[in-house]
Amino acid sequence: MKKLDLPLSKERIKELHAGDSVLLSGTILTARDCAHKRMAEYLAEGKELPFALKGAFVYYAGPCPAKPGMASGSCGPTTSARMDAFAPGLLDLGLGGMIGKGEMSAEVADALARNTAVYFAAIGGAGALYGNAIKKSECIAFDDLLSEAVYRLEVEDFPAVVAMDCHGGNIYH
C-alpha cells in the first residue's frame, strides 16, 4: 500500500504502475459531465478557467448533500468514460491526473504517457467511505451546476488503485 500526497511530482508518477493500491491525501477537484462541458466552452472562447489546472487531480464525482456537521455526503466515483473526450485536452494543459471509475480510452492512455500523468480508479459503491475521507469541501466554480459544480476537496487516506499509468499499463487489460 502506497501513501501518496497530492499533488504528485513527475518522478513520483513514474513510480506508479497499474494495479498498485494507494491512499491519497491532499487536494482534489470534483468535476463531472456538466463541469467538463463548461470548461471546454471556456477554453474554446479563450477564457481563463476559474481554478488552476496545473498539477491538479480531478475526481469524477458529484457529492451528495452533507449531513449537518459533516464536510460531505456520500461521494463515490462516477463512470470516467463519459469524460474521455475532455481528458486529453486537460492533460495537455497540465492536469496531473484523474480519479474515477472504469476504463478510459486509448486517447487518454496516450495523453497520460505524453504528459507523465496517471489515472486512478476509486472504488465504485464505496460512497460512505469516500464521504468520510473528505475533510473539507468548498465550491470553487460553476456553482449554478449544484452537485455537478466544481468543489475543492481536502481528502485524507482516500483509497484508490492505479488504473492507467504513464507507461501504458492498464489494469482493465
Partner 1 sequence: MRTVNIKTISDAVYAAAMKAGVELTSACRQALESAYLKEDEGAARFALGELIKNSDVAREKQMPVCQDTGMAVVLLEIGNEVFLEGAPLNEAVNDGVRRAYKDGYFRKSVCDPITRKNTADNTPAAIHTEIVAGDKIKLTFMPKGFGSENMSALYMLKPAQGVEGIVDAIVSTVKNAGSRPCPPVYVGVGIGGTFDGCAFLAKKALTRDVGTRSQRADVAAIEERALERINALGIGCQGFHGRVTALGVSCEWAPTHIAGLPVAVNVQCHCVRCVKEEI
Reduced to 3 states (helix: H, G, I; strand: E, B; else coil), residue 19 is: coil
Contacts for 7 with CB less than 8 Å, ≥ 6 apart: 26, 27, 55, 56, 57, 96
> How near is the Cβ of 96 to partner 1 at its closest, in Å?
21
> How near is the Cβ of 45 to partner 1 at its closest, in Å?
26
Q: Do residues 66 and 81 make contact, with C-beta atoms less than 8 angstroms apart?
A: no
| 140 Cα distance to chain centroid | 15
Q: Where does this chain touch partner 1 (CB under 8 A) — which range of 45-53, 56-64, 91-99, 148-156?
A: 56-64
Q: Would you say 26 or 102 has its CB closer to partner 1? A: 102
Q: Where does this chain touch partner 1 (CB under 8 A) — which range of 35-43, 48-56, 69-77, 88-96?
A: 69-77
Q: Do residues 120 and 160 make contact, with C-beta atoms less than 8 angstroms apart?
A: yes
Decide if residue 159 touches partner 1 (CB under 8 A).
yes
Q: Would you say 115 or 132 has its CB closer to partner 1? A: 132
Rounded to the nearest 10°, the torsion over CA 121, 55, 41, 92 is: -90
- Cell 475532455 belongs to 86
Reduced to 3 states (helix: H, G, I; strand: E, B; else coil), residue 166 is: coil
Q: Would you say 95 or 153 has its CB closer to partner 1? A: 153
**Residues within window 18-47 making contact with partner 1, judged by CB under 8 A:** 19, 21
Q: Do residues 117 and 109 make contact, with C-beta atoms less than 8 angstroms apart?
A: no
Out of 46, 48, 54, 65, the residue judged to bind partner 1 by CB under 8 A: 65
**Residues within window 71-130 making contact with partner 1, judged by CB under 8 A:** 73-76, 79, 101-103, 121, 123-129
Whole-number Å distance between alpha carbons of 76 and 60: 9
Residues that bind partner 1 (CB under 8 A): 1, 19, 21, 61-67, 70, 73-76, 79, 101-103, 121, 123-129, 131-132, 147, 159, 161, 171-172
